[in-house]
A and B are shown apart, each in its own frame.
Chain A
Amino acid sequence: MASWDWEVFCKDTATSEVMAGCLGAGGKDITYLQWMMSAWGWTMSVALLALLVALLLGTLMGVLRTTPVKGLVWLGNAWTELFRNIPLLVQVFLWYHVLPALVPPLKDLPSFVLVVLALGLFTSARIAEQVKAGIQSLPKGQRYAGLALGLTLPQTYRYVLLPMALRIVIPPLTSESMNIVKNSSVAFAVSIAELTMFAMQAQEETSRGIEIYLAVSLLYFISAFSINRVALFIERRVQVPGLIGGGK
């Protein structure tokens, strides 16, 4: 059982012959290693684009939920509950199978776009919740002080509340960003050639499941951990001495 066969990654994906230098000729002649790297690229593309969608929409919705305008609060709450209470995989299927049946133009969108939207909106609900919590953790006096100084409501958010609230929520946002890398594995269900699909397919073709899954696990780990390091770097760079989370 403990006999490893790492050479499997150097095999051509059609002929199963071990290629010299572990690389195929390119085009359609690729090895499992090249396929895995391309799969890693898909995983990161889905994850990073979805993260962008999630951060933009999540922050917006989180802010809306703390405004004094009832309609906006309702919108933010409805958004959060809608995307938070449906399982991610179900949402992906809704985007892929159900919505295109109701809205025919969606059929022409590549599944990549649909899965980025599905994953981004799902995560935006979680980010909205964290941003809202960040803003609410500030003393009420901050908001009143901003308004009393004659700032408009948007200005109060821009110059008083958000600079502090966003710094406070960096740690939970880091977790969310790492989650999105791992959650991007649902994209395999709608035919994105990402790491999880590679693992399922390559282990079947090569019968070397343990080696394949170990390598894929390592790539997920590296990806999530890099995001963690980047977030830590950002957290250090933006910290303000004396503020919450500002360090010594």
Chain B
Amino acid sequence: MIHLPLARLLAVAAAALLATGAAQADTLKKIKDSASITLGARESSGALAFTLGDGKYVGFHTEMAQRIAEDLRKQLGLPKLEVKFQAVTSQNRVPLVQNGTVDLECGSTTNNAARQKDVAFAMTTYVEEVRIAVKANSGITSINQLNGKTVATTTGTTSVQTLRKHERSAGVDFKEVFGKDHADSFLLLESGRADAFVMDGQILAGNISKAKHPADFKIVGEVLSVEPIACMLRKDDPAFKKAVDDSIKGMVKSGELAKLYDKWFMQPIPPANTKVGLPASDATKAAWANPNDKPMEDYAKK
């Protein structure tokens, strides 16, 4: 009867899994009981969230998450709250939030309808606009001039799909090349392998600011896609969502959020002490003025 203990073990494991799956998420209690919160952090999401190495995570949304954690500490009446960081990627961020490894993920996650089936989103704190970067002397000013040209974008981003949709609806035809990360895609533009780099505006601005000759590049043309970026948290945990949302609303009201934006997007930032130089867009300001958690699909309708 060698198989029996194994079968029993499996049954116990399965029961444990089911139990955790069925339990109502109560993140506030978890934070209070453990006196710690785990924030999901991105390593390379432009000025929104990035790493300086050595386990140090910074950026507009990273610092905002730290302030939210501080507000949660006050709300829960904890003398001390340990803030842990867990690096996440776009592949594992949703599962890590679902299974409780990460309590709050503030990086560059787009709030869309498909993800809302799995997770919840806090109030939108940044609205991303997908734009085109070209060489300043290329004479390109619009997406329609890209017909027959080579366009670079980064694998694993929504910009790839945006391009595809545009290609089909506008009837333009371009050759696409995919960088494995943003730096790689920018290199494609810089080295002349691509005529344009289509990506989130802040990523483009950040990469241009770090280029050898920033004046050689410019961001042109229409906004190709609008995406609300928000902090991600577990679904069906209204108390936790309210606490996070209240903290964000408080920061908007006190002007703290605008100051944070200025710090990360308008002032020199590490590691190279360059300025991204991207003022808050009208869409971002509108999201601050009327806090909401509408998914990307609602933006497209307008």
Contact = CB atoms under 8 A, between A and B. Distances in A.
A206 B160 CA distance: 12
A104 to B, nearest CB: 11
Interface in A15-52: 15, 28-29
A101 B188 CA distance: 12
B99 A1 contact: yes
B191 A101 contact: yes
A1 B25 CA distance: 13
B91 A209 contact: yes
B91 A189 contact: no
B298 interface: no
Contacts of A204: 90, 156-158, 160
- Chain A at the B interface: mostly helix, strand, loop or mixed? helix
Contacts of B164: 13-14, 28
A197 B165 contact: no
Contacts, number: 62
B161 interface: yes
Among A2, A15, A189, the most chain B Cβ lie within 10 Å of the Cβ of A189
Nearest to B193: A107
21 contacts: A1-B95, A1-B98, A1-B99, A13-B164, A28-B167, A188-B155, A189-B180, A191-B176, A191-B178, A191-B179, A200-B91, A201-B156, A203-B91, A203-B156, A204-B156, A205-B158, A205-B161, A207-B115, A207-B117, A207-B118, A210-B95
A189 B178 CA distance: 8
Interface in B248-263: none
A97 interface: yes
Given A188-B180, A191-B177, A197-B178, A13 B161 contact: yes
Interface string B99-140: 100000000000010110110000000000000000000000
B98 to A, nearest CB: 6
A142 B99 CA distance: 63
Nearest to B184: A189
Interface of A: 1-2, 13-15, 28-29, 97, 101, 107, 111, 188-189, 191, 193, 197, 200-201, 203-210
A194 to B, nearest CB: 11
Nearest to A190: B180
Interface in B141-191: 155-158, 160-161, 164-165, 167-168, 176-180, 184, 187, 191
Nearest to A8: B114
A107 B99 CA distance: 46
A62 B273 CA distance: 52
Interface residues of B, number: 31
A107 B184 CA distance: 17
A189 B177 CA distance: 10
B106 to A, nearest CB: 18
Contacts of A206: 114
B154 to A, nearest CB: 10
A197 B161 CA distance: 13
Given A14-B168, A97-B191, A197 B91 contact: no
Contacts of B90: 204
B168 A201 contact: no
Nearest to B161: A205
Contacts of A209: 91, 94-95
B112 A207 contact: yes
Contacts of A189: 180, 184
Nearest to A197: B155
B21 interface: yes
